[in-house]
Amino acid sequence: MNPSEKLAPGAPPPADFVPLIVPEIRGNEWQYVKECLDTNWVSSVGAYVERFESMAAERAGTRFAVATVNGTSALHTALLLAGVERDDEVLVSTLTFIAPANAIRYAGAWPVFIDAEPRYWQIDPAAVVDFLERGCRWDGKELRNRTTGRRVKAIMPVHILGHPVDMYPIVEAAEKYSLFVIEDATEGLGARYRGKGLGSFGHAGCFSFNGNKIITTGGGGMLVTNDPEWAARARYLTTQAKDDPIEYIHGAVGYNYRLTNIAAAMGCAQMEQLEAFVQAKRQIAKRYRESLASVPGLRFPEEAQWAFSTYWMYTVLIDQEEAGFDSRALLRELGACKIQCRPLWQPIHRSPAHDPFGSPACPKADALHSQALSLPCSVGLSSADQDRVIEAVTHFASKQNMPVKAR
């Protein structure tokens, strides 16, 4: 068995491995968490929750933030705030982790999968507009999918890999058809679109502090919004919709989605280091790009002129014809060298868990999926480990490209 196949997701890999992406804990985490333990403020209220929320709102450039137990629950809550109901439809990126599509199903609605654009690999705004204009009809008060007849209620663009989506055309199209926009910015903390933090362009934005994210609370999430009613409703729904805390009267079916003070304490300490983490990620990206530039068939992630990317998950494309090998061959080779890599997610329109009925075709996401490979890119990746990755890729590529006789 290839050594990398033994690694359990989320578990720290053995010391001789170069891990794909692991947390960096080197600030005030111990001190803040200890303070929670020492004072007994360990549960779902506390000063750290409030502080973490204000730090997140400030970062996103929104008026409000509500901490949640993870990013998926923030997405689910945002859909409820938008009034997404059973049998509604929500447009969502197909080339992303499965959580946003799952959140749409939790609300009883159906995802409509939208293709990626080939340059920055994000949801294609032109495909969004095309679907709204040609794939839907306006029945006088609502927009309906021509194929399914269902009401289209919202758009959920997902900023993947630390690079922003081109938001303006999406926001403009949403305004035209009175749709809500919920940004899945779970991979986008620290990135900017046209100079502004992600999460502030839609009606709500959602972040994740899962273990592989740029900052982590072990597990955690955040919903940001500028709307005071949405913020209040989010707080209500995520705390079991409690109307009377003495008599325990509940006005709706709520959820236990709140983040603990312990997790928020860690979040505050991590947030204090965000700028340094972003710089570290950008430095790793620069180093890979420069050192691997001469490998034939390798394509590097681009940063749009309107974007500031964190390069959260450093991902390259491999053009098999030019390189002489494909992304999965490189994955196996690096795994054998104890270097942990990962392909991108199966595009969700292909997932057995979801039904693509009523979605437009997504050929570009399929192509990106077959070519992509994410390389180790932890904030704390040492320069020796970067060298190890660079040498392994270069060595493998040079073997594949040698004339057959010389092998």
Interacting stretch for ligand PLP, rule CB under 6 A, among 19-27, 66-74, 145-153, 189-197? 66-74
Interacting stretch for ligand PLP, rule CB under 6 A, among 94-102, 104-112, 117-125, 169-177? 94-102
Say whether residue 197 binds ligand PLP (CB under 6 A).
no
Residue showing the smallest CB distance to ligand PLP in the complex = 71
The encoded tokens of residue 144 equal 């309906």
CB 145 within 8 A of CB 112: yes
* Smallest separation (angstroms) from ligand PLP to the CB of 99: 3
How many whole angstroms separate alpha carbon 83 and alpha carbon 85? 6
Say whether residue 371 binds ligand PLP (CB under 6 A).
no
Of 143 and 234, the one with the shorter C-beta distance to ligand PLP is 234
How many whole angstroms separate alpha carbon 360 and alpha carbon 128? 10
Say whether residue 157 binds ligand PLP (CB under 6 A).
no
* Smallest separation (angstroms) from ligand PLP to the CB of 160: 6
Say whether residue 122 binds ligand PLP (CB under 6 A).
no
Say whether residue 186 binds ligand PLP (CB under 6 A).
yes
Interacting stretch for ligand PLP, rule CB under 6 A, among 93-101, 105-113, 192-200, 224-232? 93-101
Of 217 and 386, the one with the shorter C-beta distance to ligand PLP is 217
Cβ-based burial of 407 (10 A; exposed 0-12, middle 13-18, buried ≥19): exposed
Of 257 and 288, the one with the shorter C-beta distance to ligand PLP is 257
* Smallest separation (angstroms) from ligand PLP to the CB of 351: 14
CB 213 within 8 A of CB 161: no
List Cβ neighbours of 150 (8 Å cut-off, separation of 6 or more): 87, 88, 89, 110, 144, 358
Cβ-based burial of 169 (10 A; exposed 0-12, middle 13-18, buried ≥19): middle
* Smallest separation (angstroms) from ligand PLP to the CB of 186: 4
How many whole angstroms separate alpha carbon 73 and alpha carbon 69? 7
Residue carrying the six token digits 């053995």: 14
Say whether residue 89 binds ligand PLP (CB under 6 A).
no
**Count residues contacting ligand PLP (CB under 6 A)?**
14
Query: Helix, strand, coil % (nearest 5) of the chain?
Result: 40, 15, 45
Say whether residue 221 binds ligand PLP (CB under 6 A).
yes
Say whether residue 4 binds ligand PLP (CB under 6 A).
no
Residue carrying the six token digits 């506390």: 46
Say whether residue 187 binds ligand PLP (CB under 6 A).
yes
How many whole angstroms separate alpha carbon 372 and alpha carbon 331? 10
Strands (E), 42-139: 64-68, 89-93, 110-114, 136-138
CB 211 within 8 A of CB 217: no
Of 135 and 219, the one with the shorter C-beta distance to ligand PLP is 219
* Smallest separation (angstroms) from ligand PLP to the CB of 353: 14
Say whether residue 70 binds ligand PLP (CB under 6 A).
yes
Of 60 and 295, the one with the shorter C-beta distance to ligand PLP is 60
How many whole angstroms separate alpha carbon 116 and alpha carbon 347? 10
Of 211 and 296, the one with the shorter C-beta distance to ligand PLP is 211
How many whole angstroms separate alpha carbon 6 and alpha carbon 195? 42
Interacting stretch for ligand PLP, rule CB under 6 A, among 78-86, 182-190, 317-325, 351-359? 182-190
* Smallest separation (angstroms) from ligand PLP to the CB of 205: 12
Say whether residue 99 binds ligand PLP (CB under 6 A).
yes
Say whether residue 97 binds ligand PLP (CB under 6 A).
yes
Strands 152-156, 89-93: pairing kind: parallel
Say whether residue 210 binds ligand PLP (CB under 6 A).
yes
Of 197 and 324, the one with the shorter C-beta distance to ligand PLP is 197
CB 360 within 8 A of CB 131: yes
How many whole angstroms separate alpha carbon 219 and alpha carbon 264? 10
* Smallest separation (angstroms) from ligand PLP to the CB of 50: 20
Please state whether 358 falls in left (phi above 0), alpha (psi between -120 and 50) or beta. left
Helix, strand or coil, per DSSP, at residue 65: strand
Residues that bind ligand PLP (CB under 6 A): 70-72, 96-97, 99-100, 158, 184, 186-187, 208, 210, 221
